[in-house]
Chain A
Amino acid sequence: MTKKPLRFLCPNGHLGFAPIKTGSFYRGVETKPDFILADSGSDDIGPGPLGSDTSTSPLEWQKHDLEHMLLAARKLGVPMIIGSAGDTGTNSRVDLYVNIIKELAEKHDLPKFKIGYFYSEVSKDYLAQKMKKGQVIKGLDGRPDLTPEELDKTDRIVAVAGVHPYIKLLDMGADVIIGGRSSDCVIFAAPAIRAGFPEDLAYYLGKVLECASFCAEPYGGKETVIGTITEKEVLVTAMHPEQRCTVASVAGHAMYERSNPYYEYVLGGMLDMSNCRYEQYDEKTCRITGPKFIPSDEWRVKLEGSGKVGERYIGIAGIRDPYTIQNIDKVIEWARAQARERFGDTGYELHYHVFGRNGVMGDLEPVKEIRSHELCIVVEGIAPTKAMAEEVAMIGTRQMFYARLPEVKGTAGGAAFVVDEVLPASPAYIWTMNHTVALDDPMELFPTFLTEAGK
């Protein structure tokens, strides 16, 4: 007997980053999907949120999305699943989301339901012990293997979960799941695998749904799509009246944000999309067949780590004098020299972003000559304390005002300031880890918990 197809509603590719568009969401909800799911995390946002254990998304936007999803899921009586809670999936973000769900249950007087959640933070001690025992923490993407020194520079680490904690929490009877850091596709793959669908198709279902309407055209983010899994195929349908999932939009999405469009690695294996076939199924639906999941012979989990570099202030300077623009490097060198005179050569960082020349692309910029009639220079001062970072940014910015250029006509000030001060910015962090470590068990780093909400 063939299995009843399951339908997965995804309203958002990074929950909280910008609010979901509710029109297409409720259009999707009316079709009575079997699951409502969204991924909430990303390493795209830089190392700051992980390192400082904060969200990059406003609390109100997170609540907005969770509220719509929770109310729809409870009304339909279907599971709601969120992966990589609160942008980073750290333990504090999981707790935050669990509490929001509880508050929402109370606010809306919802009948009692079960919240399952799991953590994914990894302690530095745990990794240090593994290294002492001779285990290699392998570098990804050209990085060297982890050294004790690099581990020492790290403030916070998350491991990227596979399907396992999600399947376990569904088995425990969770109605809502709030996940720690996870591969985007596994939150969709887990319920499909648990329901007995082939892993080949289940992981592909997750792959295509993880960014919601990014797999549809025309371009438009935060719109709902619905994925359907059968025993033979995956179907993906756009819910926005103007959007369609086409062969081009879905095949094109396979390559989004990845180095190679054919392979997707998760804890426990790799999804091979080399032999995927894409067909137009109906006006708004693309049909995909042929993905292949290849289980790995060991449990290797990806680790993301972030470490603080220092406190940071930002200065902003405008330049309009054409002679100064042509000699901008000399102006910057003058300002740097003043910082060196005050603080020496090390113990702080001073960076210049010259917008109007190569502020966006840096060394990758092929246009070498300055063609702008004005420049905006963003000065980044980084130092161990806020006071010093403020002073570094201030010297770096204000000394552009006093730069000594021999031929300059205007001598009353060499830079225009929007504000005559420097601005406090988020502390500077760096990705210290993009590595993998072997596990004895795929659940080893992902403890699961169950709690209740509603009454």
Chain B
Amino acid sequence: MATEKLINLAKTIRSKNAGTDKITFDIIFREKENYELVKKSGVLTPETICKLYGISQERIVDFVEFDPAYAIKFTIYRQRPSGSPGESDVFGCQQYAPLLDLEIPLE
């Protein structure tokens, strides 16, 4: 089946702190078509996120399909609060990269 990488379908793919204990991920689409395509593809679900990042379900706080913004959003708990010793992403803003290459089936 033909696929397309998420990076080529989405307008914005980003991660950022949501407070001191969580990192939130936003995948925002320009067109409703691409949003619906990805939403229905089943590639982005709490289960697939857990697999991609190697985390357990308990670390996912929220998973929201946000129709007004054509966006899919999920939030995870950090292992330790932002900026703790041993942490290397104070803003949580470079954790989205693995999402870019997700292959989305086109049908």
A261 touching B64 by the CB < 8 A rule? Answer: yes
Of residues 393 to 447 in A, which have CB atoms within 8 Å of B's CB atoms? 428-431, 434
B94 touching A361 by the CB < 8 A rule? Answer: yes
Taking CB atoms, residues of chain A closer than 8 Å to B54 are: 363-364, 366
* Contact indicator per residue, chain B 42-86, by CB within 8 Å of chain A (1) or not (0): 000000000011110000011010101111010101011111111
- Chain A-chain B contacts (Cβ-Cβ < 8 Å), number: 142
B52 touching A366 by the CB < 8 A rule? Answer: yes
Max chain A C-beta neighbours (<10 A), residue from B64, B66, B73, B81: B81
Taking CB atoms, residues of chain A closer than 8 Å to B7 are: none
Taking CB atoms, residues of chain A closer than 8 Å to B77 are: 141-142
Return the chain A residue nearest B30 by Cβ: A248
Return the chain B residue nearest A312 by Cβ: B85
Of residues 324 to 368 in A, which have CB atoms within 8 Å of B's CB atoms? 349, 351, 353, 359-367
A434 touching B26 by the CB < 8 A rule? Answer: no
B79 touching A255 by the CB < 8 A rule? Answer: no
B55 to chain A, nearest CB (A): 7
A263 to chain B, nearest CB (A): 10
A96 within 8 A of B: no
Return the chain A residue nearest B73 by Cβ: A255
A156 to B57 alpha-carbon distance, docked (Å): 34
A141/B90 contact (C-beta < 8 A), A276-B68, A380-B85 known: no
B21 touching A434 by the CB < 8 A rule? Answer: yes
A273 to chain B, nearest CB (A): 9
A360/B71 contact (C-beta < 8 A), A46-B82, A141-B22, A259-B62 known: no
Taking CB atoms, residues of chain B closer than 8 Å to A369 are: none
B65 to chain A, nearest CB (A): 10
A359 to B79 alpha-carbon distance, docked (Å): 15
A361 touching B89 by the CB < 8 A rule? Answer: yes
A260 to chain B, nearest CB (A): 5
A262 to B62 alpha-carbon distance, docked (Å): 11
* Contact indicator per residue, chain A 37-71, by CB within 8 Å of chain B (1) or not (0): 00000011111100000000000000000000000
Taking CB atoms, residues of chain A closer than 8 Å to B81 are: 47, 430-431, 434
B73 touching A44 by the CB < 8 A rule? Answer: no
Return the chain A residue nearest B28 by Cβ: A252
A256/B16 contact (C-beta < 8 A), A251-B69, A431-B81 known: yes
B85 touching A349 by the CB < 8 A rule? Answer: yes
B18 touching A257 by the CB < 8 A rule? Answer: yes
Taking CB atoms, residues of chain B closer than 8 Å to A278 are: 68
Max chain A C-beta neighbours (<10 A), residue from B16, B19, B84: B19
Instruction: Give the interface size class of chain A.
Output: 35 or more
* Contact indicator per residue, chain A 230-252, by CB within 8 Å of chain B (1) or not (0): 00000000000000000110011
A3 within 8 A of B: no
A261/B69 contact (C-beta < 8 A), A46-B83, A141-B61, A364-B55 known: yes
A450 within 8 A of B: no
B34 within 8 A of A: no
Taking CB atoms, residues of chain A closer than 8 Å to B98 are: 361, 364-367
A257 touching B30 by the CB < 8 A rule? Answer: no
B83 touching A429 by the CB < 8 A rule? Answer: yes
A256 touching B17 by the CB < 8 A rule? Answer: no
Partner of A304, one of B17, B20, B69, B94: B20
A428 to B53 alpha-carbon distance, docked (Å): 27
B94 touching A349 by the CB < 8 A rule? Answer: no
A173 to B82 alpha-carbon distance, docked (Å): 39
Taking CB atoms, residues of chain A closer than 8 Å to B87 are: 362
A259 touching B18 by the CB < 8 A rule? Answer: yes
A360/B90 contact (C-beta < 8 A), A252-B71, A261-B73 known: no
B11 within 8 A of A: yes
A44/B17 contact (C-beta < 8 A), A141-B22, A142-B77, A366-B52 known: yes
A110 within 8 A of B: no
B51 to chain A, nearest CB (A): 9
A254 to chain B, nearest CB (A): 7
Return the chain B residue nearest A219 by Cβ: B12
Taking CB atoms, residues of chain B closer than 8 Å to A304 are: 20
Return the chain B residue nearest A355 by Cβ: B88
B36 to chain A, nearest CB (A): 15
Partner of B85, one of A45, A258, A351: A351
A361 to B95 alpha-carbon distance, docked (Å): 6
A425 to B81 alpha-carbon distance, docked (Å): 19
A353 touching B88 by the CB < 8 A rule? Answer: yes
A427 to chain B, nearest CB (A): 10
A195 within 8 A of B: no
A431/B82 contact (C-beta < 8 A), A248-B30, A363-B54 known: yes
A252 to B28 alpha-carbon distance, docked (Å): 7
10 tightest Cβ-Cβ pairs between the two chains A and B: A46-B83, A251-B69, A431-B81, A351-B86, A141-B21, A259-B75, A431-B20, A428-B85, A251-B68, A252-B69
Q: Can you report 16 residue pairs joining A to B where beta carbons are below 8 Å apart?
A: A44-B16, A44-B90, A47-B82, A141-B61, A142-B21, A142-B77, A247-B68, A252-B28, A255-B69, A259-B61, A259-B75, A278-B68, A362-B88, A364-B55, A378-B88, A431-B20
